[in-house]
Amino acid sequence: MNTPSECTNVDARHGVPQSAGDPVTEILKTSRTIAVVGLSNKHHRPSYGVSQYLKSAGYKIIPINPHESEVLGEKCYATLAEIREPVDIVNIFRRAEFVPHIVEAAIQVGARAIWMQEGVIHHEACENARKAGLVAVMDSCILKEHIKRFRLPVD
């Protein structure tokens, strides 16, 4: 089982929310729109299942993938820069070498948080996001963290 990296706002020893004022809980509670970088129509991929869950939890999902036109019934964009509405969280399902560019784009579009999924680790990009004022989570599954905090039943 993956334990969240130190760049996350989750207690790495126990994988549970921190006490009151936990930025991860706050960002999940107050966010409405999540741009998912790397989301595709491949149902077997984690990005699809995680995004499907987040959509069922009431979040608006904006797929980011230059090779798709629509995913989960939502218009797909090639880049974050093409989105013409506010984005709360940029959820990253891409390899680490792509993360710095994605984080810079997230900062440019005014996202409130970046979330690097399990296995996606880039310390420098994470710190750059934090320095820009974003909540930054690394090597952690947003679905698992949402379930820990809000216990939405999975179908």
The predicted pLDDT at position 16 comes to: 39
Task: Determine the Cα–Cα distance for residues 41 and 54; give it in Å rounded to an integer.
Answer: 15
Handedness of CA 99, 57, 112, 62 (dihedral sign): positive
Q: Enumerate residues 6+ apart whose C-beta is below 8 A from 60.
A: 32, 33, 34, 74
pLDDT at residue 2, as a whole number: 39
CATH topology of domain 23-150: Rossmann fold (3.40.50)
At a CB cut-off of 8 Å and minimum separation 6, what does 51 contact? 34, 36, 39, 61, 63, 71, 72, 91
Segment 127-143, tens digit of pLDDT: 999 999 999 999 999 99
Average pLDDT over residues 8-25: 54
Q: What is the pLDDT of residue 128?
A: 97
> Which tens digit of pLDDT belongs to each residue from 34-54?
999 999 999 999 999 999 999
- Residue that wins the pLDDT comparison between 47 and 17: 47
Higher pLDDT, 19 or 99: 99
Percentage of the chain surpassing pLDDT 70? 85
pLDDT at 22: 87
> Hey, where are the domains in the chain?
23-150
